[in-house]
Amino acid sequence: MLQLNDVYKTFNIGTINEKHALCGLNLHLNPGDFTTVIGGNGAGKSTMLNAISGVWPIDSGSIIINGTDVTALPEYKRAGYLGRVFQDPMLGTAAQMEIQENLALALRRGKKRTLRWGISNEEREKYHELLKTLDLGLEDRLTTKVGLLSGGQRQALTLLMATLTKPDLLLLDEHTAALDPKTAAKVLEISDRIIAEEKLTALMVTHNMRDAIAHGNRLIMLKDGRIILDIAGEEKKHLTVEDLLAKFASVAGEDLDNDRMLLG
Amino acid sequence: MLNIILGAIALGSLWAVMTMGVYITFRLLDIADLSVEGTLVTGAAVGAVCITGGMNPWVGTLLALLVGLICGAVTGLLHTKLKIPALLAGILTMIALYSVNLRIMGRANIALLNTPSVFTPLEKLPFMPWLAEQGIMTKNVAILICGVLICLVVSAVLYWFFGTELGSAIRATGNNPQMVRAQGVNTDTMILLGLMLSNGLVAMSGALIAQNQSYSDVQMGTGAIVIGLASVIIGEVLFGTKSFKRTLLSLSLGAITYRVIIALVLKAGMPANDLKLFTAITVAICLALPQIKAWWNKLKGGRK
């Protein structure tokens, strides 16, 4: 479903801030893979998702989504393949527009915008039903401006928007990191449910080791812009935090020193 | 006095078209587009040249709109393709248009005396002689009827357009461009379309204003952006923004209110030369209101 072939990306080339963000990244996702991504600060987790989304062009390598080489496509042209949820709840929705308007924008992801009316009555009913499944009381607030919602509600809505038109690949970029623990758990639960129901291929970046272990069928760990650990199948099912720490130490030749990851 | 107010309302209804244009960039796209100062004159110039050349005034007004679309495209391309900051792109277009406007007119101003305007047919309405007997200037009534009709039509078109898939995407672009790109929309194209539409309306407004005042002048655009902003803010504050329909109506009413205020302060004896200072101060205060409110609450004791 997704192939990253030898992807390189360096920021601020030739300056004192030069940063080799991705250094020969290779990843192959099978259809239906729900892969969690962990790694310390600056390991390249978000950079990898941004490379896939086309926020900026990569330096070398290729990116193939569902058989299509998207390496040269700009961000908005790749959107047809991708559903995205960002870390910042403000980024996924248009605050001054209504809930239903946001959903209507998302329903047309990857399609040409025409002069047809932006939202139809059948759509409204569909949105009502879908919002009900979130169990956040949003179904009766279709015309509420999104800016009035809480971070958790906005994140749940963004998740719904990202999957409204089934994406080839769902990218979750630490989408619960800005939420309080209870809301984060709820949003994670919704993510799990939607991914399972729609049989989505997904990449979920997280700072939280426990979440990375508890969710998905595959786990990869990034360090210095490369994948250093790739655990799937039965091994992933029975993985514990201690296993993961031990594996990291043996692969990286050093102890994991990121408090946020350990405590999570 | 009645005639002064009536004239102000009539003039306001023509400026309302420009106000809607300014609203598109300032509120929907979140850009302060200074090219407006140039395109208003360009619209007036095109209109004036067409009408003195014997064209139907409506055709001249619509041509002004078309030329305005092109002017907006210039700003849009400077901003999106050449990555020049929006404010600067607008200033560049504005300055360039000053020369272009002189070229179009061939001189600094064109008088529109004894030429037909879009308002003239309305002056022959059956009740006009009766109004004239009551001491009311029929020219103003004709302009008012025409202006209100134009405002209603433009509002209706904008209401429809910004409700479509395309219009929604433009609105969302001003809100959150990153989200819009993630939904597969080219935000550069949306900004370009918004700027074109905005400047088209401003130019059309310019052509109408020129017909109203019976001349087109290369200086008439000075301060237009501030007048537009004042009208937008007055409209929003006084008449509400509860729904998009309501907001569109508020814009026209805001433009009219602005003109009435100006007419009244002039009548009260303020020198005309101080007008722009007065307008600028008004707009500055309006734009600063949230901050002033915050200070006020802080002074009152901590409520943020």
B146 and B197, same domain (yes or no): yes
Q: Do residues B105 and B237 both lie within one domain?
A: yes
> Strands A2-11 and A82-85: what pairing?
unpaired
Could you tell me if B188 and B287 lie in one domain?
no
Residues B114 and B254 in one domain: yes
Judged by CB atoms closer than 8 Å, whether chains meet at A101 and B168 is answered as: yes
Q: Do A76 and B176 touch (CB under 8 A)?
A: no
Average pLDDT estimate for B10-33: 96
> What pLDDT, on a 0 to 100 scale, did the predictor assign at position A264?
43
CATH number at residue B92: 1.10.3470
The three-class DSSP label of residue A5 is: strand
Question: Does residue B135 surpass a pLDDT of 90?
Answer: no
| Nearest residue in chain A measured CA to CA from B188 | A76
CA distances from B303 to B190, B286, B293, B294, B295 (A): 40, 21, 11, 9, 10
Q: What are phi and psi of A36, to 5 degrees?
A: -95, 145
Give all strands (DSSP E) within chain A, no chain letters.
Answer: 2-11, 19-29, 34-38, 60-65, 68-69, 82-85, 169-173, 202-205, 218-223, 226-232
- The residue range of the domain holding B289 is 276-304
Residue B51 has pLDDT above 60, yes or no: yes
CA dist., res. B135 & res. B122, Å (int): 18
Q: What is the pLDDT of residue B286?
A: 82
Per-residue pLDDT at B160 exceeds 50: yes
- Which of these ranges, A231-240, A249-258, B41-50, B264-273, has the smallest mean pLDDT? A249-258
- ipTM associated with this complex: 0.88
Suggest the residue from A76, A82, A116 to mutate for an interface test with chain B (most B CBs closer than 10 A). A76
Mean pLDDT, 10 residues at a time, chain A of 264 residues? 94 90 93 92 90 95 94 94 94 94 94 91 93 90 94 94 95 92 91 94 92 92 91 87 83 62 49
| Model pLDDT for residues B174-183, shown as the tens digit of each residue | 999 999 999 9
Same domain, yes or no: B294 and B163: no
What do you get for the CA distance between the two ends of chain A, in Å? Answer: 30
Query: What chain B residue is nearest to A91 in terms of C-alpha separation?
Result: B179
pLDDT of residue B45: 97
Closest chain B residue by Cα to residue A78: B184
**pLDDT tens for each residue of B185-233:** 999 999 999 999 999 999 999 999 999 999 999 999 999 999 999 999 9
pLDDT > 90: percent of chain B? 75
Sequence letter at residue A225: G
**Residue of B179, B245, B246 best to disrupt the A interface, most CBs of A under 10 A:** B179
**Judgement on whether residues B211 and B255 belong to the same structural domain of the protein:** yes
Domain count, chain B: 2
Say how far apart CA B206 and CA A4 lie, in whole Å.
55
Same domain as B173, residue B94: yes
Q: How far apart are CA A248 and CA A47, in angstroms?
A: 21
Chain A residues lying within 8 Å of B176, measured CB to CB? 90-91, 93-95
Q: Distance (Å) from the C-alpha of residue A113 to the closest C-alpha of chain B?
A: 5
Task: Read off the pLDDT of each residue in B259-286 and give the average, rounded to a whole number.
Answer: 89
Pair B253, B281 in one domain: no
Give A92's contacts (C-beta < 8 A, 6+ positions apart): A84, A85, A86, A154, A155, A157, A158, A161, A162, B179, B182
Contact A115 B178 (CB under 8 A): no
pLDDT of residue A254: 66
Mark whether B168 and B122 lie in a shared domain.
yes
Q: What angle do CA B168, A89, A151 make, to 5 degrees?
A: 110
Question: Which residues 148-187 of B are in CB contact (within 8 Å) with A?
Answer: 161, 163-169, 171-172, 175-176, 178-187
Give how far B178 is from chain A: nearest CA, Å.
7
Average pLDDT, chain B: 93
Do B88 and B229 lie in a common domain? Answer: yes
Our CA-based measurement puts residue B185 at a distance from the nearest CA of chain A, in whole angstroms, of 5
Q: Is the pLDDT of residue B150 over 80?
A: yes
Q: What is the pLDDT of residue B302?
A: 60
Chain B residues within 8 A of A65 when measuring between CB atoms: none
Across the interface, whether the CB atoms of A113 and B161 are under 8 A apart is answered no
* Same-domain pairing of B46 and B137: yes
Residue with tokens 């509860």: B242
Residues of B with Cβ-Cβ distance to A157 under 8 angstroms: none
What structural domains does chain A harbor? 2-88+165-263 (3.40.50.300)
pLDDT at A172: 96
| Subunit contact B184:A95, Cβ cutoff 8 A | no
> In 3D, which of A46, A52, A41, A44 has the Cα closest to residue A23?
A44
pLDDT, tens digit, for every residue of B203-213?
A: 999 999 999 99
Closest alpha carbon to A174 in A206, A142, A136, A138: A206
pLDDT at A256: 61
Q: Is the same domain home to B280 and B262?
A: no
- Kindly give the pairing relationship between strand A169-173 and strand A202-205: parallel
Chain B contact probe: residue of A52, A105, A143, A165 with most B CBs at under 10 A: A105
